[in-house]
């Protein structure tokens, strides 16, 4: 029996350094992905600053283009669309969170919120409805950002456990 133990001790362990490096690389990638929600929030904040200034930094559309686009939709319709979109987006994000699904849609939410600012701008109701869009946007993108952060930190935790097990093999 002692002869068998001596034989097992002579078998070298495979080099797990490439595997460790792969896990470390994956953790770094996940850490970068976990902050994407904050970048979308920052982008939305920049857009909101521009909207609050009534997009005065952009060139004015010519009368021909404005005539071709036509009048903006009535503000009351935009208000209803904002309420419907806000509730739908919140339910969608909460459902993704509850099912621990991969977070999706942050750029789409940014685009929809930007469209609401633009619709209000062309309808002449941006100054009266700015805070509504801003509050809905912060709520949706804040939830989305939390979901992104939480999802990727769970993945980081899983990879950290794998790394700990690999480190135990080295020691």
What pLDDT does residue 2 have? 53
Residue 143 domain boundaries = 19-170
Residue 12 lies in a domain: no
Please compute, for residue 130, the number of CA atoms within 13 A of its CA located in the half-sphere on the CB side.
Answer: 15
Q: For residue 115, what are its two tokens?
A: 């469209």
How many domains does one find in the chain?
Answer: 1
- Return d(Cα 121, Cα 3) in angstroms, integer: 85
Low-confidence spans in the chain with pLDDT less than 70: 1-13, 171
Residue 7 lies in a domain: no
What pLDDT does residue 28 have? 94
Q: For residue 38, what are its two tokens?
A: 């904050």
What pLDDT does residue 19 have? 84
Displacement of CA 136 from its chain's centroid (Å): 15
Which contiguous run of DSSP H or E holds residue 104? none
Q: What is the DSSP letter of 55?
A: T
DSSP symbols for 61-111: PPHHHHHHH-PPPPHHHHHHHHHHHHHHHHHHHHHHHHTTPPP--HHHHHH
Residue 8 lies in a domain: no
CB atoms within 10 A of CB 62: 9
- Return d(Cα 135, Cα 155) in angstroms, integer: 30
- C-alpha triplet 155, 103, 153: angle, nearest 5°: 25
Residue 92 lies in a domain: yes
Residue 5 lies in a domain: no
- Return d(Cα 104, Cα 28) in angstroms, integer: 20
How many helices, marked H, and strands, marked E, lie in the chain? 7, 0
Please compute, for residue 61, the number of CA atoms within 13 A of its CA located in the half-sphere on the CB side.
Answer: 12
Cβ atoms 105, 146 nearer than 8 A:
no
Residue 120 lies in a domain: yes
pTM over 0.95: no
Residue 11 lies in a domain: no
Residue 144 lies in a domain: yes
Residues 6+ apart with CB under 8 A from 117: 47, 48, 51, 126, 130, 133
């Amino acid at each position: 029996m002692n002869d068998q133990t001596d034989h097992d001790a002579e078998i070298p362990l495979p080099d797990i350094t490439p595997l460790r490096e792969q896990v470390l690389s994956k953790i770094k990638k996940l850490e970068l992905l976990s902050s994407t929600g904050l970048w979308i929030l920052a982008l939305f904040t920049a857009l909101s600053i521009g909207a609050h200034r009534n997009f005065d930094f952009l060139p004015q559309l010519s009368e021909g283009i404005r005539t071709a686009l036509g009048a903006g939709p009535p503000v009351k319709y935009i208000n209803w669309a904002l309420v419907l979109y806000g509730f739908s987006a919140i339910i969608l994000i909460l459902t993704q969170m509850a099912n621990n699904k991969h977070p999706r849609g942050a750029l789409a939410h940014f685009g929809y919120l930007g469209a609401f600012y633009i619709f209000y701008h062309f309808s002449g109701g941006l100054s009266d409805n700015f805070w509504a869009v801003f509050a809905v946007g912060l709520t949706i993108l804040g939830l989305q950002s939390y979901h992104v952060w939480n999802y990727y930190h769970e993945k980081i935790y899983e990879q950290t456990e794998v790394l700990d097990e690999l480190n135990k093999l080295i020691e």
